[in-house]
Amino acid sequence: MPTKKQIADRHRRTRRDHASETAEDYVEAVAEIAASEAGECRVANLAKRFDVSHVTVTKIVARLVREGLVETEPYGPVQLTAAGRRLAAKCRERHETVYAFLVALGVPTDIAAVDAEGIEHHVSPQTLEQFATFVEKHAE
Amino acid sequence: MPTKKQIADRHRRTRRDHASETAEDYVEAVAEIAASEAGECRVANLAKRFDVSHVTVTKIVARLVREGLVETEPYGPVQLTAAGRRLAAKCRERHETVYAFLVALGVPTDIAAVDAEGIEHHVSPQTLEQFATFVEKHAE
DNA sequence: CAACATGTGTAGCCGTGGCTACAATTGCAG
DNA sequence: CTGCAATTGTAGCCACGGCTACACATGTTG
């Protein structure tokens, strides 16, 4: 049975995860939008994507710049740094695995899409591995 | 394929979930502590449990009081309301299902404990149902 | 080139969940 | 009953992710 310290650690871990969830969602979105017909990712694209005001996007992008995940110039597009691209690729893969896993489990695709969005940030490498294994086994 | 509005909705849903995650964690903890040897749940118990200062607990408890989930008096214990007990029971059951599911999947118990903590708040009833079914099937 | 729509930036506000520092209460020891 | 330790409350600060309102750039379009 877990000690009190371990329980506290678990919660602290959960909180720390929250802090980076937004970053993960944003770099993923930037990558997708830049790879789409749009060709580049602008603040307005992100605002629409997350259904928030452009101000919220601006503030979050500023934080991502501080963290070295994206680059941007005044009135210019938002571009991923090398670190941002790495993170985006990792998140995309993880997201797809979680989604595929839920679908393989028998969850309706529309529900799986919502749940994957929330779950993906909390899946450890070990659990993700089990998810992937399960998907392979059930890939008919 | 999902529309832009659906993607935005998914994200809004995820954010709204965040707002209630803390409430869920706290009512769950209050129920557990009150049911333990301690007999009652005090601010100090919660502070230790989540490894945060007592001030943070006080503020969150105040919010839970506003939301009708707990009751308390100055310098007194924190008690669940009927609504709080209902929510706690629901969360406890869901938490256990998620944990049992991860373990059944093959995730090490210590890892499963951490992941369940993060995942439980994002599991829809439909997905939870699939988790439970899976656990039953693999309960030899 | 001027004007106007669109897109960004800036200022300033809110609630949540963190914190430290200090004040007040409680409760138990002496 | 007095006094001290532990607990709880209060004040005030921070970062994050929301917002509205207003200012400033950009880029078509006439």
pLDDT tens profile A21-78: 999 999 999 999 999 999 999 999 999 999 999 999 999 999 999 999 999 999 999 9
Asked if B8's CB is within 8 angstroms of A114's CB, the reply is no
Per the CB < 8 A criterion, the answer to whether B25 and A10 are in contact is: no
pLDDT of residue A15: 56
pLDDT of A107 strictly over 50: yes
* Bases in strand D with any atom closer than 7 Å to a protein CB: 6-12, 16-21, 25-26
Per cent of chain B over pLDDT 90 is: 84
Taking the Cβ of residue B113 and every Cβ of chain A, the question of whether any pair is shorter than 8 Å is answered with yes
Residues composing chain A:
140
- Retrieve residue B76's tokens: 């007194």
Per the CB < 8 A criterion, the answer to whether B119 and B98 are in contact is: yes
Residues 24-83 in A contacting B (C-alpha not used; CB under 8 Å): 25, 48-51
SS3 string, chain B, reads CCCHHHHHHHHHHHHHHHHHHHHHHHHHHHHHHHHCCCCCECHHHHHHHHCCCHHHHHHHHHHHHHCCCEEECCCCCEEECHHHHHHHHHHHHHHHHHHHHHHHHCCCHHHHHHHHHHHHHHCCHHHHHHHHHHHHHCCC
pLDDT of residue B20: 87
